[in-house]
Every structure is written in C-alpha cells, then in structure tokens.
Amino acid sequence: MIRIPVATASRSYEVLLGSGLLAHAGERLGKMLGSRRVFVVTVAPVRRRWGKVLLRSLAESGMQADVLEMADGERFKRLATLEKLAEKLVKLGADRGAALIALGGGVVCDVTGFLASVYMRGVDVIQVPTTVLAQVDAAIGGKTGVNLRSGKNLLGTFHQPRAVLIDPGVLSTLPSREYRAGLYEALKCGIIGDADLFRLFEDRRREILDRDAAIVEKVIADSVRLKAAVVSADEREGGLRQVLNLGHTIGHALEAETRYTQLLHGEAVAWGMIAATHIALGTGKLDSVTAGRITSAILGFGRLPHMKVQTMGVVKRLHSDKKTRQGVVHFILPREIGKVEIVSDVPDAILRSAVEEIRKLAA
C-alpha cells in the first residue's frame, strides 16, 4: 500500500492507495474511527458492484455501517439531494460523532463532502473514489459542491476528508468512455509537473488503455502525488492551485457551449489542453516538438468525441467569463513537459486560431 500525505492548513491526512484496498477498508478505518457509526453514501451502479466488498470489510472490523443511496448522475448534484440525504441521516440517528464515507465518482465525492461539511455543522468524511477522475482529482483537496440551475459548482465548501482510500482495482468495472475521460486528467498532471508520468503515457499507452493493474496503479499514484503536493502548498486556490486548471478555461467553455450534452468533463479538458498547447505555441512559450508530443499523447488515446461549436461562441464565452472574474481570464500554458505558466492575457487572434484548430480536429 502506498501512503501519500496531504498537509493543508485546516487538516493533514493521508491518501492510502493500493489494488484490493477496498476489501481492507475496515482495518484501515477501524483504527481511525473507533466505535463511531459510519454512513456510506453511494449510487446504485457502484453499490451493486462494490458495496458488498466495503460493507463486509467494515463489518469484519466491527463497524456498524448504514448505506444511503442517492440518484446517479450529474443532474442530481443538487442541493435537493443534499437535503434528502440529511433527512435520512437524521432518521438513522446520525449525530455529531458520525462519519460519512463517499463511495463513488466525483458526484458522490462532491455531494458527500458538502453534506459532511454542513451536517450538524460538520462531521468527518472519508473519500473512497471509484472513477479515475475522482481518484486523481475530485476526492483530494477538500473542494465540495453542488450545481445550481445557473451554473456548475456554484454552491460549495472546503472540507478536507479524514482520509482518502483509493483502490485502483475498482476501475475494472468503469465504462470505457468514463475510464478514458478520467485519464486525460491524469495526463494533465504529467504535463503540469511530472515529466516521468507524461512519458509513461507515451511509452505504456497500450497497457494503460488495457487497464494493466500495475501500470494503472502507478498512473493514479503519480497523479495523486502531484495533486496532493499542489493542494498542500495552496489549499484555497490562491495561486499555485490554479495550475490544476490546465485545459479547463477552454474546456469549461466547450462544455457550456455544448450544453453539457456532447462531452464528458475529461474530454472537454482534453480539447482544452490541445487548445492551450496551440496558444503556448502561438505565443512563443513552447517549441513545436514539445507541442507535437503533447497533442499526440492526448490524441493517442483514440478519437475524442465530435462537438458542434462555433469559434465565436467559445471566444464570447471566454470574454463573458472575463467580466465575472474582475477582467482577467487565466490560461495555464505548457512551457515544457512538466512545467506550466499562468498567463492572463492572450491576444484574441491567437485565441481564435486555437479554437479553430480544435474545431478542425473535432470535425
């Protein structure tokens, strides 16, 4: 088992990572939680496949666990879900000593983290992420949230978990599109700050796509290390944490322009990273060989889904973002493999040509 420390001002904790770890969750959490009651929040597809493994392990360690199921899908990442879950917790007798366990993808992690941060003014949460995206990103760092009709993640809190338990073995049942979409976020970690991780994607692509257990564990562990280091240095996104947004400025605009119906988040980030690479090339921050390596690594996972967007639609959206963010839109641009720079002003012509470029590739 690998242990990765996360040390933020509000709490220090560990990410425990290893294939098969879910079946030993009880041993790991028993010491931490003692005789406290635990409440597992999950969704049906995850409960069906992995619920028993977790519950058996908790029971073996003498822990009393109840399961609360929420509806599956991003559209249920709403305050209404939080309220329903809270009512259930009260009915089950959860008090201030309760601990919640989030077993699921990023949606479950975000909702459960939020719930834990406000239930009886705050209880502990343990994150047990089950998608690539949640393992390398959503479960670590303490950001929680739900969506409003007016936009994504507009309500939320910072609430660091007591611990994060990652079992890459659970990724075996993940639908392949979800699996791949999460990998783009892992590749992002390589581009931001880990050239060895990036090379792994270049050299061992087949094994990664075939979900070879040892390689997948390494990819997840290295990505988690990067995120853990960034979050430890900057819990609240004062500056450094922004580097995690590589590919996200344009990625978010693409998601919104396609009304969240054509691209998974990771896929939008993949397009966004290609655009960011193009901008870095256009502004002279990146050489063409490295730009080619980044683009090939992204496209090497196979075709990204088509998307129907207008260049001006995307650019306008970036400009309206600008109004809401005190006049600055930040772009995270690659300088070399493992190094990025935060840039706040990109000439419009270069921006347009980057969007044109991905539209061509997506046609």
Any contact of residue 252 with ligand NAD (CB under 6 A)? no
Q: How far is CA 73 from the centre of its chain?
A: 15
Which of 77/293 has CB closer to ligand NAD? Answer: 77
User: Which of 256, 251, 245, 303 has the alpha carbon at shortest distance from 272?
Assistant: 251
Q: Does 247 bind ligand NAD (CB under 6 A)?
A: no
Binding residue for ligand NAD (CB under 6 A) from 18, 19, 25, 106? 106
Least Å distance between CB 345 and ligand NAD?
26
Q: By CB under 6 A, is residue 178 in contact with ligand NAD?
A: yes
- Please report how close the Cβ of residue 288 comes to ligand NAD at its closest, in angstroms: 31
Binding residue for ligand NAD, selected from 22, 40, 99, 133, defined by CB under 6 A: 133
> Smallest Cα–Cα separation from 134: which of 43, 58, 69, 206?
43
- Residue 128 or 309: which CB sits closer to ligand NAD? 128
């990273």: which residue's tokens? 273
Task: Tell me if 174 contacts ligand NAD by CB under 6 A.
Answer: yes
The region of 11-19, 167-175, 269-277, 316-324 touching ligand NAD under the rule CB under 6 A is 167-175
Would you call 248 a catalytic residue per the annotation?
yes
- Determine if 130 is a binding residue for ligand NAD (CB under 6 A): yes
3-class DSSP state of 80: helix
Concerning whether 28 is annotated as a catalytic residue, the answer is no
Return d(Cα 345, Cα 330) in angstroms, integer: 7
Q: At what angle do helices 265-282 and 248-257 cross, to 10 degrees?
A: 130
Rounded to a whole number of angstroms, the CA Rg of the chain reads 20
Q: Catalytic one among 159, 162, 252, 330?
A: 252
Does residue 115 interact with ligand NAD by CB under 6 A? no
Tell which residue, 143, 260, 231, 133, has the closest CA to residue 188.
133
Of 42-50, 57-65, 311-319, 325-333, which segment contacts ligand NAD by CB under 6 A?
42-50
Torsions phi, psi for 2 (to 5 deg): -100, 140
Contact present, 309 and 254 (Cβ < 8 Å):
yes
Q: How many CB atoms lie within 10 A of CB 262?
A: 17
We find the least distance from the C-beta atom of residue 139 to ligand NAD, in angstroms, to be: 8
Instruction: Tell me whether residue 153 is one of the annotated catalytic residues.
Output: no
* Residues annotated catalytic, as ranges: 121, 143, 185, 227, 237, 241, 245, 248, 252, 265
